[in-house]
Amino acid sequence: MATGTDRLAAPATLDDIRSCVHCGICLPACPTYRALGEEMDSPRGRIYLMRAVAEGRLDVTETYTHHLDLCLGCRACETACPAGVPFGSLLETARAEIERGGRRPLRRRLLEAFIFGVFPHPHRLAIVLGLLRRYRRWGLQALVRRSGLLRRIPPLAAMDALLHDIPRTDGAPPEFLAARGRALGRVALLTGCVQRHLFADVNHDTMRLLALAGWDVVAPREQGCCGALELHGGRLDAFRARARALAATLPSDVDWIVTNAAGCGSALRDYGHWVDEDATRRVAARSRDVTELLVEADLPLGSLPLTVTYHDPCHLAHGQRVRTAPRALLGRIPDLAVVPLADSDLCCGSAGVYNVLEPEMADRLLALKIARIVETGARTVVTGNPGCLMQIARGARARGLDLELVHPVTLLARAMRWEDR
């Protein structure tokens, strides 16, 4: 039996809803409230709506669904909230009720059917990405863009703009990489779905750095999706099935389960809330972002004369409460200048597949993020989530900006003096 219920009216969930005292401290932290200034598009307003539904004073209407769909699920309100309201799990519960009612428009349901039918399935995703490579190489992308079709279907335009470059993966990382020198212990790497196909180099660098830091690293080939997209989309039955399946493929004898994608790491840490079983609780307790382990290592880093700025992925800063480790690691690289980014933890508009489902709001938030990045003068943006990397790169291309987007482990790998170990 899961500890996290699928019903807003369940006593424990209703207690969490009622723990909101409507103080408004969360309002400045909420991206959609900052963009729209509408009370119902703030955490406080959405909790008011959830409470009305839970108490039977409001039906699950199209308007209610719209306000909840517009939420990014970034959990910045959780960081700001003095009462500790678990907004993320409340939102996921509310979306589960909406899913069961089937109240979204047909176009939205068809788009979601495609997204959830492809993205959480690594093998299907590989096929689709292969087709998209041909779509670009054969000139079909340019033809479709000239046709004006993308302007009429904003979600399609968003996907087209995000997948500017689809690299060929250089193969899966090894299933085992031994520690350099005496091993500190043993860790398992979550290879992810989008990460393994579009950022395979990040997985390879993650394994090499962890081994250099003294960890035996395993990356089980049979591991599947963590279920993060389904969790945030309110598809809790599918999420629980994925959580159980992934927990079964990850070795039980590892000290840590390492993630290098913020959204995946946040989902893993929530496993114990939604699936009350020994294996899933173990995964939740042992999950760590790669920067949390590397920050404890004595890595031989050489000079990297570069000016960078760091963007906090929402599900790393707010979902996992990891802020200092990535910055501390960057600060150790000789000659690397790290310029502070204003509103660093304000969502860039990626939020899983939010930028496809809600492209208009995602674009507004992306514009705010790009403006802040331009203010820094940095030519390189560092962030630890594949969605953020693609979203910000998309915004830079659209504005003709020469920005490089990199994962923290990518910079560490560049700076490493591999021959010294």
In 3D, which of 130, 157, 131 has the Cα closest to residue 145? 157
> Given this model, what pLDDT does residue 105 score?
81
Alpha-carbon span 332 to 212, nearest angstrom: 16
Mean local confidence (pLDDT), 407-412: 97
pLDDT at 136: 73
Instruction: Give the model's pLDDT for residue 1.
Output: 38
Pairing mode of beta strands 176-177, 215-218? antiparallel
Annotate 147-159 with three-state secondary structure: HCHHHHCHHHHHH
Instruction: State how far the alpha carbon of 291 is from the alpha carbons of 90, 181, 206, in Å.
Output: 28, 20, 10
Tell me which residue has tokens 């994962």: 407
Region of residue 181 (left: phi > 0; alpha: psi -120 to 50; beta: else): left
When pLDDT is averaged across residues 142-169 and rounded to a whole number, the result is: 68
What is the helix, strand, coil percentage profile of the chain, to 5?
55, 10, 35
Instruction: Please give the Cα distance from 151 to 116 (Å, whole number).
Output: 24
Looking at per-residue pLDDT, the higher value among 353 and 163 belongs to 353
Token readout for 386 is 């594949």
119's CB contacts (< 8 A; 6+ apart) are 125, 193, 194, 225, 229, 353
**Into which CATH architecture does domain 306-420 fall?**
3-Layer(aba) Sandwich (3.40)
**pLDDT, position 92:** 96
Please, which pLDDT band fits residue 420 given cuts at 50, 70 and 90? low
Nearest Cα to 223, choosing from 120, 320, 315?
120
Tens digits of residue pLDDT in 308-333: 999 999 999 999 999 999 999 999 99
**What is the chain's mean pLDDT, rounded?**
91
**pLDDT for res 153:** 64
pLDDT exceeds cutoff 60 at 421: no
pLDDT tens sequence across 230-260: 999 999 999 999 999 999 999 999 999 999 9
Closest CA relative to residue 186, chosen from 175, 197, 196, 195: 175
What's the CA gap between 167 and 60, in Å, rounded? 43
Of 297, 265, 263, the residue nearest 283 (C-alpha): 265
| pLDDT 10s digits, 171-207 | 678 999 999 988 899 999 999 998 998 899 999 999 9
Question: How much is the pLDDT for 360?
Answer: 93
Lowest mean pLDDT among 52-66, 137-151, 231-245, 378-392: 137-151
Rounded to an integer, what distance in angstroms lies between the CA atom of residue 231 and that of residue 366? 23
pLDDT band, very low/low/confident/very high, at 149 (cuts 50, 70, 90): low
Burial of 322 (0-12, 13-18, 19+ CB in 10 A): buried
Return the percentage of the chain with pLDDT > 70, whole number: 92
- Domain extent listing, the chain: 11-101, 106-162, 176-294, 306-420
The fold for domain 11-101 equals Fumarate Reductase Iron-sulfur Protein; Chain B, domain 2 (1.10.1060)
Q: What is the pLDDT of residues 6-58, one digit of tens each?
A: 899 999 999 999 999 999 999 999 999 999 999 999 999 999 999 999 999 99
> Residue 47: what residue type?
I
In this model, does residue 162 exceed pLDDT 70? no
pLDDT (tens digit per residue) in 80-127 = 999 999 999 999 999 999 998 867 788 888 888 888 998 888 888 888
